[in-house]
Structure 1
């Protein structure tokens, strides 16, 4: 098979395939000294761009469980994943030989309760806690940027950070 035949074959496959699906974790926490929420960004292993933990469906696991599992494997994060998605975004997943396939990523919030010192992908990514605004400025995908900012608005309007909850309980 010539190189041209190979390219034509891959292009045909690309157009025949439906949009692929992935599940992602928007990991967040409230700092102990303050009410400002922050979220976790990680770098992708291939390009080093800022992303959130995400992965492919896993047999026998619900979507939000997959998101939580990816957060553990990629960032060492443990917490409670909501079963409700906050939305989705699309991006082009780079595959072998330069092929790109469209993916729809369903995003689940994960409130972080613990970070492990050792986890499967430790050392292959950079992790950074940042404000939601900073995170939105770092990610490349416009749809993810919109989800981050919308979730921040929703979180600030409905959630009570642990410090404030403790103050309210003491009153």
Structure 2
């Protein structure tokens, strides 16, 4: 487990790049790695669970929280960041905000039938290759395609 410090949140300016924490939820079945994607609330695009940083929480804890809220995942994050990807987040009535998402692996131990955003999202297990084709962000696609929890750096 990597030692992490809690996040502190300074004030941000309107045009600043925003950071989000993303969870790459995975399991290994019959020797094959599968990842869990969820749909976005608005357009229904396939994404990984992600959210805004929370004051006083570590990135690993935030990845576990987002995995639970958006996908019903009960799992564990070891604290290593797999990479980052950029995208523009559309927020009602505002210009698109530039965002940078830090991706953390969350090993899925259990999937709940009921979870906070169940009525707002779909979730689906798939291969890394299929997931890489379904997401819109090229950098996230590469992270998904290259991810293998069986190989430690």
Aligned residues: 141
TM-superposed deviation, 1:55: 0.1
State the partner residue of 1:162: none
Using the size of structure 1 for normalisation, the TM-score is 0.78
Residue correspondence of structure 1 range 119-130 to structure 2 within 5 A = 119-130=115-126
Any gaps of 5 or more consecutive residues in structure 1? 1-14, 159-171
Higher helix share: 1
Tell me the distance in 2 between the aligned counterparts of 1:157 and 1:23.
23
Q: Secondary structure at the match of 2:85?
A: strand
Identify the residue that residue 26 of structure 1 maps to in structure 2. Answer: 24
Map residues 67-86 of structure 1 onto 2, 5 A cutoff.
67-86=63-82
Larger radius of gyration: 1
CA distance in 1 between partners of 2:61 and 2:94 (Å): 30
2:106 pairs, out of 105, 110, 113, with 110
Alpha-carbon separation, structure 2, partners of 1:38 and 1:105: 21
4+ long deviations beyond 2 Å = 155-158
Please report the TM-score for the alignment, with normalisation by the length of structure 2.
0.87
C-alpha RMSD of the superposition: 1.6
- Which blocks of at least 5 consecutive residues in structure 2 are unaligned? 1-12
